Amino acid sequence: MTARWLISLDLPIEADSPAEAVERFWSYVDQLGPAELPVYVSPAGNELAMQAYLMNEQTNLDPEED
Protein backbone atom coordinates (compact mmCIF):
# COMPACT_ATOMS: atom_id res chain seq x y z
CA MET A 1 0.00 0.00 0.00
CA THR A 2 1.25 3.47 -0.88
CA ALA A 3 1.81 5.86 2.03
CA ARG A 4 -0.35 8.98 2.23
CA TRP A 5 1.28 12.32 3.02
CA LEU A 6 0.02 15.73 4.06
CA ILE A 7 1.89 18.72 2.69
CA SER A 8 1.28 22.24 3.93
CA LEU A 9 2.53 25.68 3.13
CA ASP A 10 1.93 28.50 5.57
CA LEU A 11 2.47 32.18 4.78
CA PRO A 12 1.31 35.09 6.91
CA ILE A 13 -0.10 37.63 4.47
CA GLU A 14 -1.54 41.06 5.18
CA ALA A 15 -4.23 42.17 2.76
CA ASP A 16 -7.43 44.21 2.65
CA SER A 17 -9.58 41.36 1.31
CA PRO A 18 -9.53 37.59 0.90
CA ALA A 19 -9.09 37.98 -2.87
CA GLU A 20 -6.08 40.24 -2.38
CA ALA A 21 -4.61 37.77 0.12
CA VAL A 22 -4.91 34.94 -2.40
CA GLU A 23 -3.32 37.09 -5.11
CA ARG A 24 -0.40 37.94 -2.83
CA PHE A 25 -0.05 34.30 -1.76
CA TRP A 26 0.43 33.11 -5.35
CA SER A 27 2.77 36.01 -6.06
CA TYR A 28 4.97 35.04 -3.08
CA VAL A 29 4.92 31.38 -4.08
CA ASP A 30 5.97 32.32 -7.61
CA GLN A 31 8.72 34.73 -6.44
CA LEU A 32 10.25 32.56 -3.71
CA GLY A 33 10.06 29.19 -5.39
CA PRO A 34 11.13 25.86 -3.90
CA ALA A 35 14.62 27.02 -2.89
CA GLU A 36 13.31 29.61 -0.40
CA LEU A 37 9.77 28.53 0.45
CA PRO A 38 9.59 25.69 2.98
CA VAL A 39 6.84 23.12 2.87
CA TYR A 40 5.89 20.88 5.76
CA VAL A 41 5.37 17.15 5.22
CA SER A 42 3.87 14.59 7.58
CA PRO A 43 2.43 11.11 7.24
CA ALA A 44 -1.37 11.25 7.05
CA GLY A 45 -2.69 10.67 10.56
CA ASN A 46 0.57 11.64 12.28
CA GLU A 47 0.90 15.41 11.97
CA LEU A 48 3.29 15.49 14.96
CA ALA A 49 5.90 13.83 12.73
CA MET A 50 5.95 16.92 10.49
CA GLN A 51 9.27 17.76 8.82
CA ALA A 52 10.28 20.89 6.90
CA TYR A 53 11.68 20.64 3.37
CA LEU A 54 13.36 23.11 1.05
CA MET A 55 13.53 21.83 -2.49
CA ASN A 56 13.73 18.04 -2.05
CA GLU A 57 15.89 18.15 1.07
CA GLN A 58 14.76 17.90 4.68
CA THR A 59 15.82 21.00 6.62
CA ASN A 60 15.77 22.20 10.22
CA LEU A 61 13.87 25.48 10.60
CA ASP A 62 13.83 25.45 14.40
CA PRO A 63 16.32 28.12 15.61
CA GLU A 64 16.32 26.56 19.10
CA GLU A 65 17.80 23.34 17.73
CA ASP A 66 20.89 24.95 16.17
pLDDT of 15-37, one tens digit each? 999 999 999 999 999 998 888 89
Are β-strands 57-59 and 51-54 bridged in parallel, bridged antiparallel, or unpaired?
A: antiparallel
53: which strand partners? Answer: 39, 58
Entry pTM: 0.70
Percent of the chain with pLDDT over 90: 64
Give the full edge-to-edge strand order of the sheet including 39-43. Answer: 5-8, 39-43, 51-54, 57-59
For the chain, the domains span 5-65
Q: Other CB atoms closer than 10 Å to residue 42's CB: what's the count?
A: 15
